[in-house]
Structure 1
Amino acid sequence: MDQDHRAREALVAEALGDISELLDRVEGLAPTLSSTCEAVTQASKQLEAQVAALESRMKRLADHAQDVAVKHIAQRTRELMHAAAEAEHQSMAALARALFLSELNPSLKSLLRAANDCARYQSSPRINWWACALSAVASAILVGVLAIQTLSP
């Protein structure tokens, strides 16, 4: 038993030596762990500062993008409104021309026909110049009134 007891003591002594060696190593790591902890803390603080700066830059970028989008939408809306107004103007002008031709053309032809008839029969005693002139003036007044009514909004 003595031998078993000695073997145990040797094992315990060897284990104590190993534990002592491990403790020495752990104590040697303490400064390294401390400096590593400080480096991680410093990196964390730097990262927080960079994130804060990035947040403000992203906010400015988003605000700028919003301003550009609003200006683009406003410009495009103005262009569409001008195009619609121009199309409406052209449509109304075309309608006015069509109405003018459909309503006034027959009156103008009648006026020309009456003037031509008066000129053709100028030597005839049956044609009264006053009647021709009165007919021409009446036709001209009629054409003017129709033109004003057609072109007025």
Structure 2
Amino acid sequence: MTVISSTKNPEALSLVIVAEFDAAVHRVWQIWEDPRQLERWWGPPTYPATFSRYEFTPGGEASYYMTGPEGEKANGWWRITDIQAPHRLEFDEGFADDNGAPVEAMGAAHVTVTLEGIGVRTRMAVQSEFESAEQMNTMMEMGMEEGMREAAGQIDAILAEQSVA
């Protein structure tokens, strides 16, 4: 399993998932910048993602949906706030309605992804910061922590494939 830690911090309203991979930083970066690779792991195995829009640039937006085992769809959005390739990505994320508009009642989270080279390996940290304790608790009850762990567990197979130029 690639995930080495999962830390909830209710005082900081954050969840941090840390994983390590047998791949160089630039290769791990590709699983974030390429939507076809991203959708192969973003979401747990039983809820694969499909990105219908992906503007990988500061200020860019992404729209996606995850399809559940019974065919149900959960829509989501990202607004990319910072890119420092290949080491840092930041975005706001949240749930979307059927038209792709943010569901304001669910709030948004701010996500910071950092990639650090450790010899020939890469350590990836994904930190989600929530707007309130209520929002964080709701997300944990919905299975966000387990879902992120399962999603990250799919990355090794992608990285084992030949690097994309």
TM-score by length of 2: 0.22
* More contact order relative to length (CA 8 Å, sep ≥ 6): 2
Higher share in helix: 1
Higher share in strand: 2
Q: Between Structure 1 and Structure 2, whose CA radius of gyration is higher?
A: 1
